[in-house]
């Protein structure tokens, strides 16, 4: 939960086009994400594979807006995948798991505000001491032109991401990048987050997130933005 996330740019145009009236969007809003993961089948192939499902809800709430404090966008992301445990080592890194899955992402809206896409992906996870690295290429499943709300989304979201997470003395630093090479470095995206313990309080962790690029929210997938937010988190990649 980011209590306050400040965005350099705001884009009211999709809402004004949909509602045919001027829309006031604040640069500062709240952002929260809830992710749930659960097993569908475990211990397959002599205990080497599991089938999992998950759902992520990511919402952008104009809670400080004097007009009506609307939700600017809410992105829904159900997915399912099979994960194969591994223990191969490459240059000192242990390949702990390899995954293949399907993910749908949409904002549940209609008209000019509708955004959605479907992907199949692979993910390769590597671990070394207190570090985790993942490489996640994906392929967008094509849609009919008449049903495609965002035909150019690959131009802005790319064809995969690379991530790195590092845990040190109770702190966790995570960085994710995508679409630099594919776009010729014109539409790249970077997200960096830092979580840290809160003294005398064990139930939450402090959290700072910086985002620069495209696709933080589906409604503005093709708009460049820089956002910095401060809040709390429950869990991390490595804690």
As annotated, the active-site residues are 104, 106
Q: How far apart are CA 125 and CA 85, in angstroms?
A: 10
Which DSSP string do the residues of 206-222 spell out, in sequence order? EEEEEEEES-SSGGGTT
Enter the DSSP assignment of 68: -
Which DSSP string do the residues of 105-168 spell out, in sequence order? EE----GGG--EEEEEEEEEEEEETTEEEEEEEEEEPP--TTT-S-TTHHHHHTTEEEEEEEEE
Other beta carbons within 10 Å of 169: 7
**SS3 state of residue 87:** strand
Enter the DSSP assignment of 183: T
Are 102 and 80 in contact, with CB atoms under 8 Å apart? yes
Q: How far apart are CA 165 and CA 2, in angstroms?
A: 20
H/E element, 197: strand 189-198
């Amino acid at each position: 939960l980011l209590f306050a996330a400040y965005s350099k740019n705001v884009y009211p145009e999709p809402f004004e086009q949909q509602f045919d009236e001027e829309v006031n969007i604040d640069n500062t809003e709240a952002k929260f994400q809830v992710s749930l993961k659960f097993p569908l089948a475990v211990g397959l192939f002599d205990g080497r594979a599991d089938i999992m499902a998950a759902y992520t809800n990511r919402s952008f709430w104009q809670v400080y807006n004097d007009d009506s404090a609307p939700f600017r966008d809410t992105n829904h992301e159900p997915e399912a995948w099979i994960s194969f445990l591994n223990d191969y080592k490459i240059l000192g890194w242990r390949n702990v798991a390899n995954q293949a899955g399907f993910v749908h992402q949409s904002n549940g809206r209609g008209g000019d505000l509708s955004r959605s896409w479907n992907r199949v992906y692979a993910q390769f996870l590597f671990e070394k001491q207190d570090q985790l690295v993942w490489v996640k290429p994906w392929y967008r499943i094509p849609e009919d032109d008449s049903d495609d709300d965002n035909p150019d989304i690959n131009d802005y979201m790319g064809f995969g991401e690379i991530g790195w997470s590092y845990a040190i003395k109770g702190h966790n630093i995570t960085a994710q990048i995508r679409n630099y090479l594919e776009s010729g470095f014109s539409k790249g995206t970077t997200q960096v987050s830092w979580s840290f313990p809160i003294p005398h309080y064990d139930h939450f962790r402090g959290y700072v997130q910086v985002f620069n690029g495209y696709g933080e929210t589906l409604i503005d997938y093709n708009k460049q933005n820089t956002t910095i937010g401060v809040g709390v988190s429950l869990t991390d990649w490595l804690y």
